[in-house]
């Protein structure tokens, strides 16, 4: 079973949902679609190219297009914090509280799924261990 690529933390991040509601919203969330193989049947699901999808999402939340990160896979709510000393959270839209997170050791932006590990299992992360070696 696959879940919808726009579904995270009971919020829909679909470009169409953002255009409809003005921001990512729980309003269109329907577990009969979002958490099943039928997610593409949802009226808020948009099948587009990755580049076009990112551009639409940037425009919907009022950001200029960038090549550094892709909002579709990197944008998170700003309350996604970690105790890892090498986890950096940067606000990309203060009004709507959208952030991106970065691993300072690997110098990479973290994906939505990768962030979960940084929040709950950061002490087991190989980059954390490398970071400790570098900074000690």
**What string of H, E and C letters represents the secondary structure of 72-101?**
HHHCEECCCCCCCCCEEEEEEECCCCEEEE
Q: Which of 60-69, 84-93, 105-114 is predicted least confidently?
A: 60-69
pLDDT band at residue 120 using 50, 70 and 90 as cut-offs: very high
Mean pLDDT is lowest, of 14-23, 80-89, 113-122, for 14-23
pLDDT at residue 84, rounded to an integer: 94
Determine, yes or no, domain membership for 26. Answer: no
Q: Is residue 33 included in any domain, yes or no?
A: no
Mean pLDDT of the chain, nearest integer: 82
The answer, yes or no, to whether residue 53 has pLDDT greater than 80, is no
Whether residue 27 is contained in a domain is answered as: no
Domain range for 121 is 74-136
Cβ count within 10 A of residue 122? 17
Question: Tens of pLDDT along 56-81?
Answer: 666 665 665 555 677 778 888 999 99
Strand locations in the chain (E): 7-8, 11-12, 76-77, 87-93, 98-103, 108-109
Residue 135 inside a domain? The answer is: yes
CA distances from 14 to 53, 83, 129 (A): 9, 29, 36
120 Cβ neighbours under 8 A, 6+ residues apart: none
The confidence score (pLDDT) of residue 55 equals 63
Give a yes or no: residue 80 inside a domain.
yes
CA–CA dist 89, 78 (Å, integer): 8
Asked, for residue 42, whether it belongs to a domain, the answer is: no
Asked if 136 and 97 touch (Cβ cutoff 8 Å), the reply is no
The pTM for the full model equals: 0.52
State how many domains the chain has: 1
More confident residue, 135 or 65: 135
Residue 104 maps to a domain: yes
The sign one gets for the Cα dihedral 8, 12, 16, 21 is: negative
Is residue 9 one of the residues assigned to a domain? no
d(CA 134, CA 136): 6
């Amino acid at each position: 079973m696959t879940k919808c690529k726009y579904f995270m933390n009971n919020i829909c991040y679909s470009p169409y949902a953002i255009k409809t509601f003005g921001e990512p919203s729980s309003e269109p969330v329907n577990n009969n679609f979002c958490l099943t193989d039928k997610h593409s049947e949802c009226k808020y699901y948009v099948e587009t190219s990755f580049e076009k999808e990112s551009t639409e999402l940037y425009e919907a939340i009022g950001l200029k297009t960038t090549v550094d990160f892709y909002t579709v896979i990197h944008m998170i709510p700003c309350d996604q914090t970690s105790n890892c000393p090498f986890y950096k959270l940067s606000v990309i839209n203060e009004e709507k509280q959208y952030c991106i997170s970065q691993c300072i050791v690997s110098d990479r932006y973290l994906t939505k799924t990768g962030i979960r590990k940084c929040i709950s299992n950061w002490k087991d992360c190989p980059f954390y261990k490398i970071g400790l070696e570098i900074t000690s």
